[in-house]
Structure 1
């Protein structure tokens, strides 16, 4: 779900916001897949999946903010000192979009974070004000998606994605 059709491609694998930039660029091809596989063996899993029967149709990345580059971001502010968990990638497989799967994924990510003791969950979606977001950059989600899941605007940021400003949305657990 997070890897490319060609396993030797050096694409995201949902690592660009999970690990430091230098480490992210150093991993190539199969190394990226191996890194993600190793993450799945840790006590805290790298995210949640959505299924349609036996088929994986969606993915949401979720982890403690302190474990991510977001902890050191100069563009996305810390709202307070709570041990927030971050949801930064929500993907739905083509052919399954428009069915509410992103909403289920976001709820699943929040539930998983709460189960692991997160006092608050935050995301950094675009504030696109209803305008279409390029699908390659839509993985960050939209403000409306997070609002529908009970998140509220916590802060504005200096970050952008697909030409839209990003905001910090939060939900207390």
Structure 2
């Protein structure tokens, strides 16, 4: 029986972060830095610089994401954290216009990226990562989570575009659709209880 677990992306798990980001899609080249830099800065960085940026972010803490393991092997990744730390969101006009939450509100978290290695797709890792991401946000004291998934019920979508997640997965986990953004993307939100912040 396959065992799936999740852990916070700490610097001690750096090799696992790198393994989870490789193995399919744009994860390795992106290093999940796309959500935290402007488009201009993104275009100006190399793979090595992005990897160093992610390393520094994880080393500084708190963990900007979680790693999923299948039978102990790193297999997937989710970026989840305060929306204010993911500056591309704040600069995206469609999101800024659609959200009902103040852009400087640290209690609003966001899910912006999923990566699953090819050999582990179809095992429910995205679901497990989202469930763990919700728990992580709640324990950290988040009030609400936003996400910007793809509505795959209409049109066709490249697999590489699905790093945002799919609408159906979010709806299955208590998120509600609040606005249409662009290119098949929608804004979804889920309110949280907001426990005491984790150490």
The answer (yes or no) to whether the contact 1:39–1:46 under 8 Å persists in 2 is yes
The answer as to whether partners of 1:60 and 1:109 remain within 8 angstroms in 2 is yes
**Residue 2, structure 1, aligned to residue 21, structure 2:** yes
Aligned structure 1 segments of 4 or more residues deviating by more than 3 angstroms: 130-133
CA displacement at 1:130 relative to structure 2: 6.4
The alignment partner of 1:51 has SS state of strand
Give the drift of 1:131: 5.8
Q: Which runs of 5+ in 1 are unaligned?
A: none
1:33-78: per-residue Cα shift (whole Å, max 9, x none)? 1111111112321101100122111100112111222122201222
CA contact 1:4–1:13 (8 Å) conserved in 2: no
- 1:117-158 Cα offsets, whole Å, 9 max, x none, are 11001110011216653211111111101011111112222x
Normalized per residue, which structure has more strand?
Answer: 1
| Greater relative contact order (Cα < 8 A, sep 6+) | 2
Stretches of structure 2 that go unaligned for 5 or more consecutive residues are 1-19, 193-199
**For each residue in 1:98-121, what CA deviation from the matched residue of structure 2 results, as whole angstroms up to 9, or x when unmatched?**
111100001111111112211001
| Cross-structure match for 1:38 | 56
Give the TM-score, by structure 2 length: 0.75
Checking the alignment, whether the CA contact within 8 Å between 1:50 and 1:58 is kept in structure 2 is yes
Q: Are the aligned partners of 1:123 and 1:169 in contact in 2 as well (CA < 8 Å)?
A: yes
Q: Which of 35, 48, 58 does residue 66 from structure 2 map onto?
A: 48
Q: What is the aligned residue count?
A: 164
Instruction: Provide TM-score, normalisation by structure 1.
Output: 0.86
User: Per the alignment, in what secondary structure is the counterpart of residue 45 of structure 1?
Assistant: coil
Of 159, 168, 171, the residue aligned with 2:187 is: 168
Output aligned runs, 1:98-137, within 5 Å.
Answer: 98-129=122-153, 133-137=157-161
Name the residue aligned to 2:179.
155
What residue number does 2:39 align with?
21
